[in-house]
Amino acid sequence: MTPEQAARGYIESFSEHDVGRALAHWARGGRQHVRGQIDTVAPDGVREQIEALIAAAPDFRFEVVGTVSEGERCALHWRLRGHFNGSARLYGVRPTGDRLELEGVDIFTVRDGLIVANDAFSDSMEFTRQIGMMPPRGSRRERFFTALFNLRPRRRRRRG
């Protein structure tokens, strides 16, 4: 199995909420590091991550936007769509019912047809905006909070 086949197989299985098939793409002890969210090991940690997303956003689906492969690595650009309306918290956040449309890139390392590492990068800021945790981009509230935050370095310089 090529790195692209393994990466696509994992994402497609994950998207179909088929936990067993998704885990079948992983080498035991493979590392999944979703920047700013989780750093875990297959199979148990990856299973927990998949199950947490299914519980928090039960209608989510991934779309593969594109891939680039070189040697044992495959970068997979994805788009996730669904609703944050499940029965469980995700990264400590209670579901809000809001629609999600997020993008990210996972960089898979595949050996002997199995994923041994995944370094994933998703737009966490956009997630917080879509669920109402952060104000919308360019909004009056965003400008207010930015101005408020910018007081902090100004106070530090004055104390200097």
Predicted confidence band at 6 (pLDDT cuts at 50, 70, 90)?
A: very high
What is the pTM for the complete model shown? 0.87
Predicted confidence band at 157 (pLDDT cuts at 50, 70, 90)?
A: low
Cβ–Cβ under 8 Å, residues 2 and 70: no
Predicted confidence band at 160 (pLDDT cuts at 50, 70, 90)?
A: low
Residue with tokens 């995944």: 118
Tell whether the torsion through CA atoms of 89, 107, 7 and 40 is positive or negative: negative
pLDDT of residue 117: 98
> With 0-12 CB in 10 A as exposed, 13-18 as middle and 19+ as buried, what is 108?
buried
Looking at per-residue pLDDT, the higher value among 125 and 4 belongs to: 4
Predicted confidence band at 154 (pLDDT cuts at 50, 70, 90)?
A: low
Predicted confidence band at 155 (pLDDT cuts at 50, 70, 90)?
A: low
pLDDT of residue 152: 79
Average confidence score pLDDT of the chain: 94
pLDDT digits (tens, 9 = 90+) for 21-66: 999 999 999 999 999 889 999 999 999 999 999 999 999 999 999 9
CB atoms within 10 A of CB 66: 9
pLDDT digits (tens, 9 = 90+) for 91-138: 889 999 999 999 999 999 999 999 999 999 999 899 999 999 999 999
d(CA 22, CA 26): 8
Residue 83 has pLDDT above 90, yes or no: yes
Question: Measuring CA to CA, how many Å separate 12 from each of 69, 74, 90, 137, 138?
Answer: 17, 15, 21, 31, 34
- CATH classification code of 3-122: 3.10.450.50
